[in-house]
Amino acid sequence: MTRSALKIRHLILFVLCLMYFIAYIDRVNISVAGPMLRKELGLTPTELGLIFSAFAYPYAAMQIAGGWMSDRFGPRLVLAVLSLLWATATILTGLSWSVASLVAFRILVGVGEGGAFPAATRALTCWLPIRERGFAQGITHSFARLGGALTPSIVLAIVARYGWRESFIVLGAASLAWTAVWVASFRDTPDEHPWVTAPELAAIRTGGESTRAARGPTPWRQIVSRMWLVTVVDFCYGWSLWVFLTWLPSYLSDARGFRLDQIALMTTLPLLGGVVGDTLGGVISDAIFRRTGNLRVARRTLLVVGLVGASAFILPAIVTGSAIGAVYLLAAAFFFLELTNAVLWTLPIDIAGRYAGTAGGIMNTGFGVAGMISPLVFGVLIHRTGHYELPFFISVGLLLVGALCSLGIDPTLKVEAV
C-alpha cells in the first residue's frame, strides 16, 4: 500500500489501539500471577491485597496531571515518557524481592498508566475529524477490554514456559517496543507529519478544532464547569465496571457454584460482551450524528441507553435461578455498560478541544475514585450481609443516577481559550 493510499490517521489509531491493549495487560497481569507471587514470596492475603491496590491510587492521582501535561507539552512526548515509565516498572516487577519492592513498582505502573488514556485522548483530538471520534474511542477501548480478557491466557502461557518473573519481563519489553513505534510514527499535529497528504489534512481539519498545543493559561473554571457532570456519569459507570473486573470471578464461584476450571470461561464471556459494546457504542453514536447533525442527541442517546440497559440486565441476572442464565444476562449487562465508554471518552474531545487531555483527566478521575471505593464497599457489604444482592442493587441505583445525569450533558458547550 502506498503512502497516498494509507490514511496516516488510521495508522496512528491502530498504534493507539495497541497501546490500550498492552496497557490493560500490564494493568491486570499482577492478579493472574498473584497465586505464584504469594507462594514464592510467602505473602499473606493482606499483603497481596496491598500489592493489588497499589496501582489504583497513583492511577487516579495522575489523571488530571497527565492530561494537563499532554495539553501543554504534546501527547508525543508525554505518552513516550509515561509508557517508558510503566514498561520499566513492569520489567522491574519481575525482579522484585519483597512486598515493599512490589508495591513500589506497582505504584510506578499506576503513575505511568494513569496519565496515558487522557494523553491518548489528546492525541486523537489532534488527528481525527468529529465524525470519526466516537468510533475511535470505541475501538481503542475495545482493545483495552480485549487485552483484559486475554491476559490470563497470555500470562499463563509465558508462566508455563518460563516462570512468573519472566512474564513481567516479556510484557514490559513489549511496552518498550511500543514506545519506540509511537515515537517513530506519531507527530503532535498532522502538519508536522511527513507522510500526511493534502487531501487527508483537509479531511482531518473538517469540523475539528485547532491542534496546536495549549500554550496559554489553562481555562480551569470553564473545563470543570463543563466536565463535572460527565465526571459524575463516569463515576457511576466506573462503579459497576470495577465490580465486573474485580468481583465477577468470586460471584460466579460463591453465588453460582461454578468450579475453578469453569470460571475462566464464564468470566471471559461477559468481558467479550464488553468488547462488542465498546466498538458499537462509538460507531452508533457517530452514525446518529451523521444522520441527525445533532451532537447532543448522538452522545446522550448512547449514554442513557447503555446505563439503563445495563441496569435492566443486572437485576434479572441477580435473581434468576439459572447459573448459566446469570452469565448470559451479565454478558448483556456488560455489553450495554460498555456502549457508554466510547461516548464518555469522546466528550472531552467534543467539549474541550485542545484541552481534551486535561478534560479527559478530570473525567477519568471519577472512574479512578470509583475504582478505589467500589471493590472495597462491595466486599464489605458481602461480608456483612453474606450475599451479593445488596451491592449489585447499589450498582443498579448508581447506573440509573448516571443515566439521569447524562440528560444534562451538552457536548456543544465548548471550552474557549483564555
CB 109 within 8 A of CB 26: yes
Q: Which three cell numbers stand for residue 157?
A: 502461557
Does 208 reside within a domain? no
Nearest-5° Cα angle at 264, 96 to 55: 35
| 194 and 252 together in one domain | no
* CATH code for the domain in which residue 322 is found: 1.20.1250.20
Give the pLDDT confidence score for residue 209 in this predicted structure.
53
| 148 and 228 together in one domain | no
Helix ranges (H only) for 320-388 are: 323-352, 356-385
Q: Quick one: pLDDT band at residue 6, thresholds 50, 70, 90? A: low
| 377 and 281 together in one domain | yes
Average pLDDT over residues 343-371: 87
DSSP string covering 204-252: HHTT----S---S---HHHHHHHHHHHHHHHHHHHHHHHHHHHHHHHHH
Does 193 reside within a domain? yes
331 has pLDDT over 50: yes
| 186 and 245 together in one domain | no
- Express each pLDDT in 91-149 by its tens digit: 999 898 888 999 899 999 999 998 898 899 888 888 888 777 778 877 888 898 888 77
Does 209 reside within a domain? no
Q: Quick one: pLDDT band at residue 247, thresholds 50, 70, 90? A: confident
Q: Average pLDDT, whole number, for the chain?
A: 86
Domain that holds residue 146: 1-202
Q: Quick one: pLDDT band at residue 3, thresholds 50, 70, 90? A: very low
Does 269 reside within a domain? yes
Give the pLDDT confidence score for residue 145 in this predicted structure.
82
Residue 380 exposed, middle or buried by CB count within 10 Å (0-12, 13-18, 19+): exposed
| 131 and 86 together in one domain | yes
Average pLDDT over residues 295-315: 95
Q: Quick one: pLDDT band at residue 215, thresholds 50, 70, 90? A: low
| 168 and 137 together in one domain | yes
DSSP string covering 67-86: HHHHHHH-HHHHHHHHHHHH
Better-scored residue on pLDDT, 413 or 246: 413
Q: Quick one: pLDDT band at residue 5, thresholds 50, 70, 90? A: very low
Does 23 reside within a domain? yes
Last residue in a domain, options 202, 229, 260: 202
- In this structure, the dihedral spanned by the alpha carbons of residues 206, 210, 213 and 218, taken in order and rounded to 10 degrees, is -130
Q: Quick one: pLDDT band at residue 2, thresholds 50, 70, 90? A: very low
| 335 and 375 together in one domain | yes
Last residue in a domain, options 178, 202, 226: 202
| 92 and 230 together in one domain | no
Give the pLDDT confidence score for residue 68 in this predicted structure.
86
| 110 and 161 together in one domain | yes
Average pLDDT over residues 188-207: 80
| 191 and 244 together in one domain | no
Last residue in a domain, options 143, 171, 202: 202
169 has pLDDT over 90: yes
Q: How far is CA 53 from the centre of its chain?
A: 17
For residue 222, CA distances in Å to 295, 359, 363, 413, 414 come to 19, 10, 14, 10, 9
Q: Which three cell numbers stand for residue 64?
A: 488530571
Does 121 reside within a domain? yes
CB 393 within 8 A of CB 287: no
CB 285 within 8 A of CB 302: yes
Does 210 reside within a domain? no
Better-scored residue on pLDDT, 138 or 161: 161
Q: Which three cell numbers stand for residue 217?
A: 493559561
Q: How far is CA 325 from the centre of its chain?
A: 27
Average pLDDT over residues 257-279: 81
Rounded to the nearest 5°, which phi and psi values hold at 378?
Answer: -55, -45
Does 207 reside within a domain? no
- Share of residues in the chain with pLDDT > 90 (%): 36
Better-scored residue on pLDDT, 334 or 260: 334
Give the pLDDT confidence score for residue 130 in this predicted structure.
74
Q: How far is CA 4 from the centre of its chain?
A: 32
- Express each pLDDT in 10-46 by its tens digit: 899 999 999 999 998 888 788 777 777 778 888 776 6
| 96 and 232 together in one domain | no
Q: Give 154's contacts (C-beta < 8 A, 6+ positions apart).
A: 25, 171
- Express each pLDDT in 50-87 by its tens digit: 777 788 788 888 888 888 898 889 999 999 999 999 99
CB 114 within 8 A of CB 26: no
Full-model pTM: 0.78
| 222 and 179 together in one domain | no
Give the pLDDT confidence score for residue 36 in this predicted structure.
78
For residue 255, CA distances in Å to 14, 362, 382, 389 come to 40, 36, 11, 10
Instruction: Provide the domain count of the chain.
Output: 2
311 has pLDDT over 80: yes
Better-scored residue on pLDDT, 309 or 157: 309
Q: Give 375's contacts (C-beta < 8 A, 6+ positions apart).
A: 242, 243, 246, 247
Give the pLDDT confidence score for residue 24 in this predicted structure.
86
405 has pLDDT over 90: yes
d(CA 350, CA 347): 5
Give the pLDDT confidence score for residue 417 in this predicted structure.
66
d(CA 80, CA 157): 28
Minimum mean pLDDT range among 276-290, 308-322, 327-341:
276-290
